[in-house]
Structure formats: C-alpha cells, structure tokens
A and B are shown apart, each in its own frame.
Chain A
Amino acid sequence: MQPNAPIHGTFSVKSGLAQMLKGGVIMDVTTPEQAKIAQEAGAVAVMALERVPADIRREGGVARMADPLKVKEIKQAVTVPVMAKCRIGHFVEAQVLQSLQVDFIDESEVLTPADEEKHIDKWNFKVPFVCGCRDLGEACRRISEGAAMIRTKGEAGTGNIVEAMRHIRGVQRGIGEAREAAKNKGKKDLAAMAKEMRVDVVILEKIAESGKLPVVNFAAGGIATPSDAAMCMQMGCDGVFVGSGIFKSADPLQRAKAIVQATAHYNDPDAIARVSEGLGDAMPSIDMRSLTPESRMATRGI
C-alpha cells in the first residue's frame, strides 16, 4: 500500500464523526416525514427506528432493528447523518445496517437484547458504534469493544430526566475516583479499579490523566424539554439524543427547534426561557417509582 493512500474505517475516522456531532441534537424518527421535520428543526443526525421507546414500552414484545426499507427511505429523505439501532449482541443486524450504509449504529438497550453474554465486537466494523452506559465501568467496557461514541442510558421512553442525571453523575464519579486512584490517594489503586470494572488498565490510565472519556459522550434517555437538554449540556455532556420526547409531544416541530436552540445556547437561561414558551404538552411521562425492575431498559447489557 502506498504510504499516502487514503484509508477507510480507522478509529479516528469513526470517532471523528462523533466529534462533528458535538453540541447537537440527535432525534428518533420512524418515518421519512418525521426525518424531514427533524432536519428542518436542526437535528445534527436522525435515528431510524421501527417504534419510539415510549411505544416499545407500551406495546411490549421483542423490539428489533428497523425494516431495511424504512432505513433506506429515511436515508433518501435527509442529508444529515442517519443512525439506526440494532439489538445488543446482534452482530448480524449490525452487518445489515452497515450494508445499508447507515452512518452510525446504536447498539441499544432500547431494543430487546439478542445476547446476554457478549456485546458486538465493534472493531470489526467500518461504521462507528454508539453504546449506552450507566457508569464509568460500562463506558470503558463498551469503548474496549470498539465503541466510537458513548451516551448515558437514562431510562428511554419515560420523559423523565432523573435516570440520565444519575448516569451522567455515575460516569463523572468514576472519572473522579480514577483520578484519585492515579494519585494514589484513593482506597484502591488504578489496577484494582480496572480489574473490578473488567477493563484494561491502559484505558483507565488515559481517563485518569485527561479527566474525561476518550470518546464523545452524549446524554440520552428521558430528555423531554429544552431545559432537560440544556441541563445535560451544563453537566458537561457533548450533546443530546431525544427519543420519544419530540414526536410524542403536542407540537413536534416547535419542540424540536426549541431543543436545538437550548442545546446550542445551554448557558443562556434567557434564551432557554424564550424558546420554551408555549410549546404545548410534553410527551406523556412516567414516574420511576411506577416502573417494575423488569421494565427498566437501562439494566440490559451492562
């Protein structure tokens, strides 16, 4: 191979797309029409799926990758990147999505897991993957498997931000502990911490030194309002995913535009107040206390 020849699918090309999405809003869509609305509202990417999490939660059954025809139609409808979800561990769904040339694959706990023992070996793919996490250990395991982007799991389809906040804090607490451990002031040293997390110590050393994850980190799971999105940004997230929050609300286009503005101007309460006016009802929401442990999506694929 020529030293100058272009190379495809390297990790920096994969994680590079995530870097370009920073500061943006990625929206769940189930039809080409919704995809166009999302793009018009300023989404940096759309997530193609069969049913939004709120409907998956209500209807039950096995939730799978979307119909390839639908993915193709959504790809044709927009120019922004198109992401799609596959089931945790379902490497053939991922192969299919790669063959459809989606721009990013979400190995997602929102769908019914296909393998409870192993996640997909994401190094084998040219398409980048994003994976959910609740704490630093989960984030590190997914990055070790080749994830080019991380998001908090939150609790999808609830319109309740509380779990996303728990997971953002979970990752941050882990990073703080790793830094302490690296300075030898913590209770356990970094190697013990890595062993407990079942990850290579090298990745933890890198995190302890830089004070952040080595890939882009978005918030997801329960974002329903412009203020929710801005809070995740002020907490230090690089951007947000909004699932059911847009197309289950009273006025999807206006709400989508407002969330995009609030994400860009997350440090400006006056701007957030302005865009939040008169948006109508948010999506129907759920109090966590009414969820049974089995109906929680965040505990899948850890």
Chain B
Amino acid sequence: MLEIGVLALQGDVAEHLEAARQAGAKTRISIRLRTVRTADELAGLHGLLLPGGESTTLSLLLQKNAMIEPMRKISGLLGTCAGLILMAKEVEGKSAEQECLGVLDVRVDRNAYGSQVDSFESALEKAGEGAPDLTGKLRIPFIRAPKIVRVGEGVHVLARHPNTGEPVIVQQKQAGKFYLGAACHPEMRTSRMHEYFLTHLQAALETK
C-alpha cells in the first residue's frame, strides 16, 4: 500500500487527485490517497504530488507551515508547473524570500514562456527511442509555464517541446528517491504521468 498525498494549499488539487485515483486503478498499485495542508499531515507519505498553481503563494504557505524540510525527506515527488518550480534546485526570477525544496537538479526560468496570451497547448515529443510515452497524442496545456533551462547530470529528459526541443518532462532517480517534474499540465488531460510515477516510486521503494 502506497501512501500518496496531494499538496492541497492552493492550485489544481482536484485534477491531481483524479489523475492519481485513475492511475491507482489502471496500474493496480494499491494506494491510499489524501490531501495534505500541514507538516503533521506529511507523516508516513511515500509520495507527494505538487500541483500547478502560483509558486510564490505555494512557497510562502509551505514556509509558514514549516513543511519544506519534511517534504525533502519524502521518497517520491511529482510536480507540475509551480510544483516543478518548488522542486527545482535553481530558479530564475524568484524573490529572495521564496524558499524552494531544491531536490531536482534542474534550473528553471519562471514564466519564461511569457504571459497568459502566450500560454498554449501542444502534443509533446518523446525524448528519444525508449522514452516512455507519458501523454500519447494528447495536447498538453502549458499555462504561464516555466522553462527548464539546465538539466543536471543525474536528470533524465522524458519529453520535449515539439518545436524547440526544450525539455518539458524530466525525472531523477537516486537511492530510494524518485522525482518527476513537468513544466506543463498532463494532469489536465491524462493519468499516464501519474501511472508512471506510481510504478517507478514503487520500484524505488523496493530497491531501497
């Protein structure tokens, strides 16, 4: 039984809950799903989903509720958009007081795609032969999306922007840890990314 939480302070929480519920059913991995708003509620989680939302708001609420340090200890993290920013090691354009988890070795540029008129939806390109197909042919929304501008050595690119080739979904595996981050919002269209997360998180926990 995997204990999976969805950070529910702000953002597209319901979309992540639904994607995770479907992913549990499709992978037949038994999960217990709950929303999380305090440090106490983080206890016992195997995986935490960080929703899309406003990263300044989320980081402020995480700091106020002393959640950042305990979140760094969780084995599996999946973050989309603002969730990716929270996980990233380096963030361009963040304010000095905005603290992030810094566990995923990428550099992201906040809102680099521009303002809302520049938001778009697009099919994604698999990052090469053997890369998993996390979104199928579906058009995935990029909403005032961050750009992944640097990828660390231990980070593996899973999907790219079809025109520019920029990485848009990445993963990082290390001893007993599994991190999955997307600049876009697969949760709005599909549960495939969540299925992938559950499968790999379970494997990471078994090899721990």
Is there contact, CB below 8 Å, between B10 and A264? yes
Indicate if A193 sits at the interface (CB-CB under 8 A): no
The CA-CA distance from A103 to B116 in the complex, in Å, is: 5
Question: In the bound complex, do residue B120 and residue A13 qualify as a contact, i.e. CB atoms below 8 Å apart?
Answer: yes
Q: Which residues of B contact A10 (CB under 8 A)?
A: 121
A44 contact from B10, B120, B139, Cβ within 8 A: B10
Bound-state Cα–Cα, A12 to B187, Å: 13
Of A3, A12, A13, A23, the contact of B10 (CB 8 Å cutoff):
A23
* Contact code string B61-98 (vs A, CB < 8 Å = 1, else 0): 10010000000000000000110000000000101010
Provide the residues of chain B in CB contact with A128, threshold 8 Å: 116
Q: Among residues 1 to 48 in chain A, which have CB atoms less than 8 Å away from a CB atom of chain B?
A: 2-10, 12-14, 16-17, 19-24, 39-40, 42-45
Q: Give A29 Cβ to nearest chain B Cβ, in Å.
A: 15
Task: Decide yes or no whether B204 CB sits under 8 A from chain A.
Answer: no
Give the number of A-B contacts (CB < 8 Å). Answer: 132
**Number of residues in A with C-beta < 8 Å to the partner?**
44
User: Provided the pairs A12-B141, A127-B116 are in contact, do residues A22 and B56 lie with their beta carbons within 8 angstroms?
Assistant: no
Task: Name the residue of chain B whose CB is nearest to the CB of A265.
Answer: B37
Q: Interface residues of B toward A: which range?
A: 35 or more
Decide: B119 and A8 in contact? CB cutoff 8 A.
Answer: yes
Report chain B residues within 8 Å CB of A6. Answer: 120-122, 142, 161-163
Closest Cβ–Cβ distance, residue B63 to chain A (whole Å): 10
Whole-angstrom CA separation of A4 from B124 in the bound complex: 8
| Min distance, Cβ B189 to any Cβ of chain A, angstroms | 9
- A102 and B56 CA atoms in complex are apart in Å by 19
Which residues in B have some Cβ–Cβ distance to A below 8 Å? Answer: 8-15, 37-38, 52-54, 56-57, 60-61, 64, 81-82, 93, 95, 97, 110-111, 114-123, 125, 137, 139, 141-144, 161-163, 185, 188
Q: Which 4 A-B pairs have the closest CB atoms?
A: A6-B122, A103-B116, A23-B10, A6-B120
Residues of A within 8 A of B (CB): 2-10, 12-14, 16-17, 19-24, 39-40, 42-45, 75, 79-82, 98, 101-104, 126-128, 260-261, 264-265, 268
